[in-house]
Structure 1
Amino acid sequence: MVRISRKSLYILGALGCLGTLIAGTNLSNSPLIPQKTVYAKKRSSHKSSANIAVQFLGINDLHGGLQTTGKLFMDKTVVENAGTAARLGGYLDQAQAAFKQAHPHGVTTRVQSGDMVGASPANSALLDDGPTLAVLKAMNVKVGVIGNHEFDHGLTQYHHLIDGKRPSTTGIKNAQQVTAIKHYPFVKTGMQIVIANVRDRQTNKIPANWQPYTIKKVTDPKTKASVKVGYIGILNTNLPGIAKHYKLLNEAQTIAKYDKKLRAKGVKAIVVLGHTGAVTQNGKTTGDAVNDLKQLNKIDPKNSVDLFFAGHSHQYANGRVNGVPVVQAGMQGRGYANITAQLSPKTHDFIKKSITSKVTPIYPLAAAPKDTFSKDKTVKKINHIISDANRRVAPIINTEVGAIQGNQTISNDLSSNKESAAAYAVVDAQRTTANEQNHTVDFAVTSNDSIRSDMKVNTSGKVTLGTLYDMQPYGNSQPIVEMTGKDIIDLLNEQYTKSQLYFLEISGLTYKFAPATGDQLFTVSDVKTDKGTPLNPTQKYHVLTNDYLSTGGDGYAAFTHGTIVDNAGQDIDLLTTYLQGHSPIAVPQLNRKVPLK
């Protein structure tokens, strides 16, 4: 038995001590007292000494969140102000150090399950996510999969970014941003991308010369025993916008195909990196990742998939499907997944009973008894990358574009009725500006997932361009879709199905909603224009939205029943123009969705 000293506890930080939270505790104001932790090394025996201890540390949906914090909902526990890339890097180091202390010859691999870039705050987005890729290198992330946001600027461009090549600046209107990108020191990440179920429609090949899987040999540095581990990459197929240019093959069938190929090569220890979602609620884990594994088990009950790192749905997940752990750590670096196991050189597979999994939050600094990361080299590297990025984009993001009445921040928090004041400010601005620019727009619609931050004011009480980039990091164009009143009512109802993760934020409309039964949680009624006129089911209306939703993204298929008739331009331009011409703007009231009991 080896007892860890108090000094070592600070090295372990939140990994050991903070992981013993009582379910339901909110950590925003809770003092956390370190506890003594005992790590037991397994006694060596002839049978077990040859096994290789392995650790897999996983992150997902970072979205360039270099300094972003937010809530991490962990089933019944909520962690406030979780995140920041530097602390994430520190926690990964702590987790690896703790594992190494318990298993001196153990091997750690760091992986990611998609959406590392895209929908990023300004200090990453304005530099084409170069700082985020540099952070991934600093974190030593070795294997990953593409998410839907890696498509934002094209997969070829993302491939170049991974390899440290300077991206194209074609189409960027801001001269300062072009200059900043041309002078940014992009780095080669050393990260390998695997993606098995995406094919270019023209060539029928996997894009960017990526491979469907990779094989990594894991070797015990003492015994020299080794086992090959296979990694298969999968992307969620419910992405209609992407499906225009790429074929998205069935996830479970594709996993089964390459699982069989890997086994034919003698690889039995298999990890899936899936940009497909999962969530654990009340101890039960559900979602597309779970469905994929269940379907895989029907296709091939003898498959050798052992671990599944999920992504895409931004939720907390830590569950099992037929013994296979499924993990997901929220979004924007608010947590990480930690799976440990033993590999058997005799069977060339995981020892099933040895597999453990957990998801650890990236606690705010105030929740720790002291700063345990001040000497961590990874933290220092990441802080330097972020400071450098902030310096480079400062001339752009500090430009003041408007003001808010009362010099107050407009919150992006969702109310109990799923309304966001910040999102309402955005859609009101888009609808007003589009009409002022001689487009015809009756209503504007976005999702709460499309607005990523509060509308903040600086110390002078002004809204800066940087805030607008933080709010709308996607760079979406704004198509105008002609829809019937019935299509719009169907659209509003689509947000209240059991499978829906995101809610619609509306401008020019009000409605009521009441509890329903079955898969429909609520039913919408009494839909009216903001002038009080009932929506006519047969009349055609012009609805401004973003290009992702317009193609049926996030399950909003009703948009595809309409016809795109116009485009109002870029989201950031519409919002900037509105603030420049209408400041100080008012804080929208949350009264557009009225519940019926």
Structure 2
Amino acid sequence: MSRTGQTGRFRRAKLAAAAVGLLGTLLVPGVAQAHGHHRPSTEDLQLLAINDFHGNLEPPAGSSGTVKEIDPATGQTVSTPAGGVEYLATALRQAREGHRNTLTVAAGDIVGASPLLSGLFHDEPTIEAMNKLGLDVTSVGNHEFDEGSKELLRLQNGGCHPTDGCYAKGRKFKGADFEYLAANVTSEKTGRPILDPYWVTEVHGVKVGFIGVTLEGTPNIVTAAGVQGLKFGNEVTTINKYAAELKRKGVNSIVALIHEGGYPASPVYNYDCGAAGAGISGPIVDIAKKIDPAVGAIVTGHTHNAYACSIPDPNGVPRSVTSAASFGRLYTEIDLKLDKRTGAIVRPSVTAANHVVRRDVPKAPDMTKLIGYYNTIAAPIANRPVGYIAADINGRGSTDLEKPLGDVIADAQLAGLAPADKGGAQLAFMNPGGIRADLVYKASGSEGDGVVTYGEAFTVQPFTNMMQVKTLTGAQVIQVLQQQVSGLNEAAPKVLQVAGLTYSLDMTKSGADRVVVPSVKLGGTPIDPAASYRVAANEFLAGGGDGFPAFTAGTDKLVGASDLDLFTAYLSAHSSAASPLAVPAEDRITVLGGGTDQD
């Protein structure tokens, strides 16, 4: 299963090795000893890490395109523009300078939920950008399964899309030059990983292995069709299994790439979690504490947070655990030493720090050319106006449990599915994780301030999930509301965006008790637990995704248009240049005792 780095993606490593080889006669033992020199006992290795890129080739707009940092002049927290693959490529190339041993790694969700520039072409542009960027290896993330495992294998191995074909005459997609790892994703038929579980390369005689996993709960956050025929194993069990296998093969320097993460206590990108990791919470803490101590460093993702922490291993020894936020706004530099005698990572040597991908550096010309190529093809679709807004309408960038853009999307779904022949919906639910961006008033292109283009709408709703309308009882609707803050969602609530419904959440309580049941009203009338209601939701939610099994009890299903089609139709019907859409009042969910969204 293992592979050594002998393909084109390691040309720079091979060139470095060749350069060293030219000097080899100067370092043979006899000559070195005669001149009082000793061979170094360790070899330096630089890892540059990213995660959750999500096809953001162009600089992300709004809050998705900033990072929070401390202004050294004032001591205040400020938002700094960051991201864009043209700047990321420059930053990584500059970071590699002076390092003879350097690898670029990632922790999943490189593709999926992407802006139109990448998503329109099934993320082929992002794979091509990562090839140019020099990515060596990545774990899969949950979004790598948005279009199913066959599409993931196509991204790895190449070939034209099975239905859309190739996007230019005579141009065939070549696939990823880097290695996708999926150690804990196995076929139900064969029981074997669908992709390699680990990848091994050699750094001047020291073997270094990378094990890649995604979160065990991937089936809960991906459509059923996307994970059909697959099983997702436990992260810790899988990593420890393959760490043991690597050690049996003489690979003692091991790095884990995990698409699961944590929540630091501060949003500042370079926040210090403390020596014992007390400043970070979430699933990665428990995972890291159980992973084999032979794993010398852990690169994580999924939560879109930034941290460079130390979390104790099973022996209580601190170990580096990092994440570089999302969308290419940061990269993590991890420096470590490899013991040439034992072949292991010298754990006390490991240092890690996140760096901002600032936009005040030169753009990488090859990335500019790539973006220009696909923009030309996409322009007729991407630049079409679909609506107008009066100010920023925040979705991803809102920390409130009720998001302004969430209200707009839920309204669009209800409006489109309320007619009797469209499903007769009386209320609509929208999952917060499906809102991928903000609608930004200030134009980033030539369309004009306040104009919403199809490309911008696509960036907000990139999944094109088909909508469903089902009949649920009032009791089941209340159960849906309770599942937002209980069960799988108790620790990190997933508060659904609603239309047609109002209610209160008491965040001073715990679990399902947070929903104030008497406050749940439809059109101002208390919901009747025994009555039946027609409820709209996208196919992901309607299938029980995100920890909402109550939706699966619905009956009389009607399948409607896609969420994106309803969103663009609503913007076109409810806004104009003379009467742009206003920012919603956020008056549907009353939150008692505070609380912010964790997605």
Normalised to the residue count of structure 1, the TM-score between the two structures is 0.80
Tell me by how many angstroms 1:483 deviates. Answer: 3.0
Equivalent in the alignment of 1:393: 378
CA RMSD for the aligned pairs? Answer: 2.8
State the match for 1:555 in structure 2.
547
**CA displacement, residues 46-81 of structure 1 (integer Å, 9 cap, x when unaligned):** 777231100111111100111214233579955432
Report what 1:199 is aligned to.
186
Amino acid across the alignment from 1:151 = F
Cross-structure match for 1:483: 472
Change (3 A) 1:255 1:490: same
The offset of 1:506, in angstroms, is: 1.0
Tell me the residue number matched to 2:14: none
Asked if the contact 1:169/1:181 (under 8 Å) is kept, the reply is no
Match of 1:442 in 2: 426
- The answer to which of 306-315 and 281-290 deviates more is 281-290
Aligned pairs for 1:359-370 (under 5 A) are: 359-363=354-358, 365=359
| Partners of 1:489 and 1:524 within 8 A in 2 | no
The alignment partner of 1:350 has SS state of coil
Which residue type is aligned with residue 457 of structure 2? Answer: L
- Of residues 428, 439, 453, the one that matches 1:455 is 439
In structure 1, distance between residues paired with 2:248 and 2:553: 46
1:264-283 superposed matches below 5 A: 264-281=248-265, 283=273
Q: Distance in 1 between matches of 2:290 and 2:534?
A: 41
* Closer/same/farther in 2, CA of residues 358 and 47 from structure 1, 3 Å limit: farther
1:590 aligns with 2:565: no
> Contact 1:180/1:393 (CA < 8 Å) preserved in 2?
no
Query: Which one of 207, 215, 218 corresponds to residue 228 of structure 1?
Result: 207
Q: 1:355 Cα shift?
A: 0.5
Tell me which amino acid in the other structure corresponds to 2:589.
Answer: K
Decide whether aligned partners of structure 1 residues 491 and 395 sit closer, same or farther in structure 2, where only a CA change above 3 A counts.
Answer: same
* Cα displacement (A) at 1:274: 0.9
CA shift for structure 1 position 570:
1.2
CA contact (8 A) 1:285 1:320 kept: no
User: What is the identity, as a one-letter code, of the residue corresponding to 1:594?
Assistant: T
The Cα of 1:179 is off from its aligned counterpart by: 7.8
Cα 1:373–1:551, aligned 2, differ >3 Å: closer, same or farther?
Answer: same
Letter in 2 for 1:477: M
Identity %: 30
Task: Tell me if structure 1 keeps the 8 A contact 2:335–2:351.
Answer: yes
1:431 offset after TM fit, Å? 1.1
Amino acid at match of 1:291: D
Q: Distance in 1 between matches of 2:134 and 2:439?
A: 34
- Could you say if the C-alpha distance between residues 94 and 498 of structure 1 is closer, same or farther in structure 2, counting changes exceeding 3 Å? farther
Name the aligned partner's letter for residue 87 of structure 1: Y
Name the stretch that deviates more: 311-320 or 524-533. 524-533
Q: CA deviation at 1:460?
A: 7.4
1:469 alignment partner in structure 2: 458
> Match of 1:422?
405
Structure 1 contact 63–332 (Cα < 8 Å) conserved: yes
Does the C-alpha gap of structure 1 residues 409 and 244 become closer, same or farther in structure 2, counting only changes over 3 Å?
Answer: same
Give the SS at the match of 2:418.
helix
Which of the numbers 118, 129, 135 marks the counterpart of 1:135? 129
Inter-partner Cα distance in structure 1 for 2:340 and 2:451: 62
SS in 2 for 1:555: coil
What amino acid is the match of 2:201?
A: K
The whole-number CA distance in structure 2 between the counterparts of 1:316 and 1:115 is 15
The correspondence of residues 73-472 of structure 1 with structure 2, limited to 5 A, is 73=68, 79-97=79-97, 100=98, 106-169=100-163, 180=167, 186-207=173-194, 210-219=195-204, 226-239=205-218, 240=220, 241=224, 244-281=228-265, 283=273, 284-296=279-291, 303-322=293-312, 323-363=318-358, 365=359, 371-373=360-362, 379-404=364-389, 406=390, 408-412=391-395, 417-436=400-419, 437-456=421-440, 458-459=447-448, 462-472=451-461
Q: Which runs of 5+ in 1 are unaligned?
A: 1-43, 171-177, 220-225, 298-302, 366-370
SS in 2 for 1:56: strand
The 2-side partners of 1:399 and 1:237 are apart by 40
Shift of 1:121: 0.6
Residues 133 and 189 of structure 1 are in contact (CA less than 8 Å); yes or no, is this contact kept in structure 2?
Answer: yes
Match of 2:269 in 1: none
1:564 deviates by 7.3
Residue among 536, 544, 548 paired with 2:536: 544
Supply the AA of the counterpart residue of 2:427. F
Residue 428 of structure 2 contacts residue 536 of structure 2 at CA under 8 Å; is this kept in 1?
A: yes
- Cα displacement (A) at 1:535: 1.6
Q: Distance in 2 between matches of 1:313 and 1:281?
A: 13
Q: Which moved more, 1:423-432 or 1:489-498?
A: 489-498
Q: Flag the 1:536–1:279 CA change in 2: closer, same or farther, 3 A.
A: same
Aligned to 1:25: none
Q: Which residue of 1 aligns with 2:4?
A: none
Which amino acid letter does the alignment assign opposite residue 173 of structure 2?
F
Partner in structure 2 of residue 5 of structure 1: none
Contact 2:140 2:180 in 1 (8 A): yes
Partner amino acid for 1:159?
L
Letter aligned with residue 248 of structure 2: A
Deviation of the 1:481 alpha carbon: 3.9
1:262 is displaced (CA, Å) by 0.6
- Aligned counterparts of 1:184 and 1:503: Cα–Cα separation in 2: 44
State the shift of 1:416 in Å. Answer: 5.9
Q: Which amino acid aligns with 1:158?
A: L
Distance 1:434 1:192, change over 3 A: same
> Once the two structures are superposed, what CA deviation does each residue of 1:366-395 show, in whole Å capped at 9, x if it has no partner?
xxxxx4325xxxx11112111221111001
Which amino acid is the alignment partner of residue 511 of structure 1?
Answer: Y
Q: Distance in 1 between matches of 2:513 and 2:54?
A: 30
Q: Report how far residue 525 of structure 1 moved.
A: 4.1
Shift of 1:403: 3.7
- Give the Cα separation in 2 of the matches to 1:265 and 1:416: 47
For residues 521 and 509 of structure 2, the distance between their equivalents in structure 1, rounded to whole angstroms, comes to 27
Amino acid at match of 1:252: V
Match of 2:527 among 516, 525, 535: 535
2:361 maps to amino acid: T
Q: Note if contact 1:166-1:182 (Cα within 8 Å) is conserved in structure 2.
A: no
Residue deviations 1:180-238, cap 9 Å, x none?
A: 4777663443111111111122333322xx2111211111xxxxxx1111111111111
Distance 2:78 2:106 in 1: 23
CA shift digits 1:223-261 (9 cap, x unpaired): xxx111111111111123455531111111111111111
Q: Measure, in 2, the Cα distance between the counterparts of 1:557 and 1:60.
A: 29
CA distance in 2, matches of 1:214, 1:416: 38
Contact kept, 8 Å, 1:111 with 1:144, in 2: the verdict is: yes
- Paired residues for 1:498-513 under 5 Å: 499-500=491-492, 502-513=494-505
Which 10-residue stretch deviates more, 189-198 or 448-457? 448-457
* Contact 2:471/2:556 (8 A) holds in 1: yes
CA distance in 1, matches of 2:168, 2:497: 33
Deviation larger for 232-241 or 254-263: 232-241
Q: Do 1:147 and 1:275's aligned partners in 2 also have CA atoms closer than 8 Å? A: yes
Cα deviations by residue, 1:303-341 (Å, 9 ceiling, x for unpaired): 411111111111122212222211111111111111110
Q: Secondary structure at the match of 1:93?
A: helix
